[in-house]
Chain A
Amino acid sequence: MKRYKQRVAFRDHAAEAALFTRRAIVGFLFVIALVGLLLTNLYNIQVNDHAAYQTRSNDNRIRLIPVAPNRGLIYDRHGKLLADNRPVYSLEVIPEQAGDLDAQLDAISTFFPLSADRLEQVRQRLRVSRRFKAQTVIPQLSETDVAAFSVNQHRFPGFYVEAGLERFYPHGASLTHLLGYVARINNNDQIRIEQEGERARYAASRNIGKQGIERFYERTLHGEPGMQEVEVNNRGRIVRTVNAAPTEAGQDLQLTLDLGLQQHAERLIAGRRGAIVAMDPRDGGILAMVSSPSYDPNLFVSGISSNDYSRLLNDNNRPLINRATQGQYAPASTVKPHLALLGLEKGHVTPKTKIWDPGWWQIPGVDRRYRDWKRWGHGWVDLNKAIAQSCDPYFYELAYNTGINDISAFMYEFGFGQGTGVDILEESSGNMPTRDWKQIRYKEPWYIGDTISVGIGQGYWTATPLQLALSTTILANSGRRFVPHFLKALSVEEQLEEQLPQERPPLELERPESWQHIQQAMYLTAHRPGGSGYRQFNDAPYKSAVKTGTGQVFGLAEDADYDDEEVAEHLRDNALFVGYAPFDDPQIVIAIVLENAGWGGANAGPVARALFDYHLDPDYIAPWDRVDELVEETE
């Protein structure tokens, strides 16, 4: 310490202070120099390179986002909504923000009841998806769910609720086979979209029409996407919209369909396998098209679960098939009027021609007997009786005299053996056999016996219910031919614009009076005692023309598999019906096929009568309502 004191005494404080001040100034100059360096660098960044950084800043935050257009709505002929767009909320997650995703998903699944199956599906998808891209966890949340989740959202980082519009079919299974449905765009759809150069239009769309009207009018219904210029944050979440080019909604469709008639028809054959087609013969518009059983199209909209799908696929009643356009049935006696017309046209018979029916018919010189459905025969049979009572031998002989070539060619004119051109793509052409067809298909020549079977609408001849309806329409119209269709009107700038029906050149006969002879015979079927439709149709407040049929089972569809255990039931006859009303001014044509239902007149007839009544009789009361009245009266 002593030494220190001594030393302190020798210190030159003034010099030290001056030295310090000099050093402090040097230090300050050094500070100034370094600040200058900072400022020079900052000036370079902020002023000289400003434009470049400005661009990069905008690139960071501005994104162009395509916006899906609202899909056009679909209405029935009376303006009732058949396909709606419904606001839906879905639970989405951005994996990157969710932290421990597995734990979060477990937590979510206790919050929302989420099946293990579904949970596994989500996990699988999340494993392969990009981490910063939103993925749907739950496609549909109720508003209660949304409210409950919003309160608890802080517990689930990375999860959020997204609102959007989704297709909804308010009438469920009633219209599935004709409306079809929309569902998620899959790989095949994507490839098709790319090939058609439509990628930009579908950039924001999640769903596409898969069946029926939704598929056929996809371009019309879809609309034009909009563009949104949005500001996003570093996680790509949209913060605000800077600019937007509006979307153009798809066009609304009005169908020729009558929802009431459709639902009535559906209810009349509920629980049975079969199809009904009702058409307006004045323009070919389809009033009703039922295929039973059906299924709920809403299942497909947000992605059907594999369980539900395999249940539909493995259902023995084959609900996925549209029986009205894809079911191929032996037309049976329903085509006898057409065959008779051909006989008249070719001069093989006249309205007066009578043959003797002992209950069977033989090819001349051959022993084999072709039976009439009535074992003891119809006795003397003319054209009217042959059609009204569906006398088989009359048509055996007629077919024998006409030959398959003429039959095929003529029936082709009625639309058999080819697509009808209806505006849904799920359609089979049925089969109108020819000699060549059999040679190619079976490597066998055409036998005369084949012609005899075709003569009563059996054998190789198959037709869809829609073809039956179309051919009956041509009969009712005396040869005028419309293309069957669903489209009635399209919305153009908020206005519904009626679409003209497509018409093919009429079927001209050399003896046009033959039309009246056949129509008269069908009229008598409904209105003369002994006619196969007399019991069902004679007391109606309008006149009708009908033909019943009872088809031997040939096949449900070309690809139908026969289950051994089911064969017994499947061997029962199909009940068929075609007809139109009112007789003088046809407004409705109906074709019905009820699979394995038995006798056509007794089984399909009452269904047709109820539909005619529904359409034409203002005082009509549905059978189920009448039963209620009776019960009330007796009480």
Chain B
Amino acid sequence: MSEIARRQPNIWMRLHLDLPLLCGLLLLMGYGLLVLYSASGESEAMLERQLVRASLGFLVMFVLAQFNPEIYRRWALPIFLVGIALLVMVSLFGETNKGAQRWLNLGFMEFQPSELMKLAFPIMMAWYISQFPLPPKKRYLLGGALILLIPTLLIASQPDLGTSILVASSGVFVLFLSGMSWAVVGVCVAAVLAFLPVLWFFLMKDYQRTRVMTLLDPEKDPLGAGYHIIQSKIAIGSGGIEGKGWLQGTQSQLDFLPERHTDFIFAVLGEEFGFIGIILLLALYLFIIGRGLVIASRAQTAFSRLLAGSLILTFFVYIFVNIGMVSGLLPVVGVPLPLVSYGGTSMLTLMASFGILMAIHTHRRFISR
């Protein structure tokens, strides 16, 4: 590390921060706070709380960026096992909230082990796959797939479809980035498609099936199941190209839009800032993802590459699932719009993953392996 400092007296490298990524994150969060202020009905209290969370997020990112990726690699298995243990505990003694068992009461705080798994699992998968020469042999891929099933099923059974999708994706991305052959990719896609009916008839709960049905025809029950998606589409659609203007969105300001400051905040943005505002948001996201993939490609170890790539692609899954759901492409799944939706847990998890990305980028050895 001292050698880096001598040869590259770059202040950001010494702080273990990546400037482009940091700028992208700051711009995105600033934009998000602007939208949140409107979505919360101009609540300064909520804005303040979100600011505190964002600050905490940056702190977490900064702290995690200081660790050498080698440390994450060494701790991959223990952290993962602890995470699995916690998930099992949740299903045994977890707190039930809104019909789902996700929280673990630690006495002083409520804790969601599935959030820990969002980080622990890609670290685990990256560690597992990176042990082998890449592209991995089929039997290792199979091993990876089996590891993948454990946390995914545990989380899906809480039930928390959104998080289980995110966790599963992070694992799938590790396998994909490791170079698994396209033939295997094809087989996997086919297997998933074949699994869908099983999912529909045996694994999905009634309310989840309703959500899918609603997606296909929201107008069937406009005041019930279809209400969220209809009001959200009205908000976005009535925004037009230029939007109704900041704080001027009637759908959101007049409370027609449900959950407007959390999962449906994208609709507020669409209504008030229009198509232009949406393009701006997606451009920011693409910039962050692009930078993340660049960091991943430049990483010096297979573990770092796979972990960085998986984390950044999972970040995109948040974006795609959330926007897809709000604009009526995907069923309603509880996934927030990353770094914009109001709420603490996902913000901290995401900032932690950016901290790991920065750690990967700023802890370099000189001889590539």
Contacts and interface: CB of A to CB of B under 8 A. Distances in A.
Interface of A: 4, 7, 10-14, 16-17, 19-21, 23-25, 27-28, 31-32, 34-35, 37-39, 41-43, 45-47, 49-50, 52-54, 56-58, 60-61, 231-235, 239
B238 A50 contact: yes
Nearest to B285: A35
The 8 A-B residue pairs whose C-beta atoms are closest, nearest first, are: A53-B237, A57-B238, A233-B254, A234-B255, A19-B179, A45-B237, A234-B256, A53-B238
Interface string B318-349: 00100110011100000000000000000000
Contacts of A46: 236-237, 239-241, 270, 274-275, 278
Given A38-B282, A43-B275, A56 B238 contact: yes
A42 B275 contact: yes
* Size class of the contact patch on chain B: 35 or more
A7 to B, nearest CB: 6
A42 B241 CA distance: 10
A54 B235 CA distance: 8
A49 B324 CA distance: 17
A269 to B, nearest CB: 61
A24 B285 CA distance: 16
A57 B272 CA distance: 13
Given A4-B131, A38-B320, 15 more contacts: A11-B302, A12-B133, A17-B368, A23-B176, A23-B179, A23-B309, A25-B293, A27-B309, A28-B289, A32-B286, A39-B278, A42-B323, A47-B241, A49-B237, A61-B254
B296 interface: yes
Contact of A53 (B236, B290, B305): B236
Contacts, number: 146
Given A13-B369, A28-B290, A38-B320, A53 B302 contact: no
A57 B235 contact: yes
A424 to B, nearest CB: 49
29 contacts: A11-B133, A13-B369, A16-B133, A16-B134, A19-B179, A20-B134, A20-B306, A24-B293, A27-B173, A27-B309, A28-B289, A31-B286, A35-B320, A39-B282, A42-B275, A45-B237, A45-B327, A46-B240, A46-B274, A46-B275, A47-B240, A47-B275, A53-B238, A57-B237, A57-B250, A57-B251, A60-B256, A61-B251, A61-B256
A43 B282 CA distance: 13
Contact of B327 (A11, A25, A38): A38
B279 interface: yes
B309 A34 contact: no
Contact of A233 (B132, B239, B256, B282): B256
A60 B293 CA distance: 44
A57 B239 CA distance: 10
Interface in B296-321: 296-297, 302, 305-306, 309, 313, 316, 320
Most chain B Cβ neighbours within 10 Å, of A4, A25, A28, A43: A28
A232 to B, nearest CB: 7
B234 A60 contact: yes
Contacts of A42: 236, 270, 275, 278, 323, 327
Given A31-B316, A38-B320, A54-B238, A20 B131 contact: no
Most chain A Cβ neighbours within 10 Å, of B131, B135, B293: B293
Contacts of B309: 20, 23-24, 27
A20 B329 contact: no
Contacts of B135: 19
Interface string B158-182: 0000000000000001001111000
Interface string B192-233: 000000000000000000000000000000000000000101
A54 B237 contact: yes
A35 to B, nearest CB: 6
Interface in B237-261: 237-241, 250-251, 254-256
Given A35-B282, A45-B327, A54-B238, A28 B293 contact: yes
Contacts of B278: 39, 42, 46
A554 B137 CA distance: 119
Contact of A20 (B177, B238, B256): B177
Nearest to A49: B237
Contacts of B285: 35
B305 A60 contact: no
Contacts of B179: 16, 19-20, 23
A38 B176 contact: no
B254 A19 contact: no
A308 to B, nearest CB: 42
Nearest to A31: B316
A60 B254 contact: yes
Nearest to B320: A34
Contacts of B270: 42, 46
B240 A54 contact: yes
A60 B296 contact: no
A60 B251 contact: yes
A31 to B, nearest CB: 5
A239 B323 CA distance: 30
B236 to A, nearest CB: 5
B296 A24 contact: yes
Contact of A61 (B177, B250, B323, B328): B250
A20 B297 contact: yes
Contacts of B255: 233-235
Contacts of A20: 134, 177-179, 296-297, 302, 305-306, 309
Contacts of A53: 233-234, 236-238
Nearest to B309: A24
Nearest to A45: B237
Nearest to A7: B133
A60 B250 contact: yes
A43 B231 CA distance: 17
A209 B211 CA distance: 54
A635 B161 CA distance: 98
